[in-house]
Amino acid sequence: MSNETASARTNRRIVVVTAGGDNPNIMINALAARFDDVVVLQEQPESKALFVTRRARRLGWGTALGQLATMIVSRCGKRFTQRRAAEILRQYGVSVDLNAAIPAHRIKSVNDAEGRAKLASLQPAVVFLISCRMLRPDTLAVIPCPVLNFHAGINPQYRGLMGGYWALVNNDAGNFGVTVHLVDEGLDTGGILYQSRQVPSRADTMHTYPLLQTAASTGIAIQAVEDALTGNLRPIEIAASSRQWYHPTLWTWMWNGLRRRVW
């Protein structure tokens, strides 16, 4: 057996691609506690101007600006949910403070030439995406290992953004949860590996739903990565309607809060 073949068989490096934040930090810490070789590629967050322009092309300027308003209010509202957030962290024994011993490399985007080169140089056995840009087809095509994504929603019913929130708005609390899936060229359309469901408390809001979903679902992410490392990935078929969701506009969020008590 050649040295190259032996190296390939012993390679267990997991490269996590993320734009950073509390929820990704929880997941990165959990992966690093289970696996010996975890490296982070941290992208620069997309600008709000780019976000609004892209959404406006797809949904119109009124909706795009309404979604931006919700994001601004959501950021300001986080200070009012600190107690509930602390409860979640204690309940699941997780931390939002990234372990300083985990190697991290800053890149502009995993989709540009520099980002792709950095990813290739790390020689990952698994690439794990959480809260990052969608991989472009040309980026995905040059990654020679399994690519997994952590999605805060139940696929295929709640693809896209705010999956837990929309499940509650739709009186579909049984589908408040998380999906870990393979990545293909679509948006959250890759083969489903594992799902977990949670029951939010009355104290939870749009500000804490993703925190709860992430903190409660590190186990399925770890299992999916282990499956990828051992060549045991087994996607499951789920017969359900598929729909992509976006941030609610500010007026939609206010209406659902007042009418359904879903904030």
In the chain (263 residues long), the average pLDDT of successive 10-residue segments reads 49 96 98 98 91 91 94 80 96 97 97 97 98 96 97 98 97 98 97 98 95 98 98 96 96 94 93
For tokens 């929603």, the residue is 153
pLDDT score, position 74 = 79
Q: Based on the structure, what is the number of domains in the chain?
A: 1
- Residue 110's pLDDT is 97
Cβ atoms of residues 249 and 67 within 8 Å: yes
153, 129, 109: which is closest to 27 by C-alpha?
129
d(CA 130, CA 21): 10
Return the SS3 of 41: strand
| pLDDT of amino acid 9 | 58
The residue range of the domain holding 227 is: 3-260
- What's the confidence (pLDDT) of residue 175? 98
Helical (H) or strand (E) element with 210: helix 209-215
Q: What is the pLDDT of residue 51?
A: 85
How close are the terminal C-alpha atoms of the chain, in Å? Answer: 58
Where residue 252 sits, what CATH number does that domain have? 3.40.50.12230
Model-level pTM? 0.93
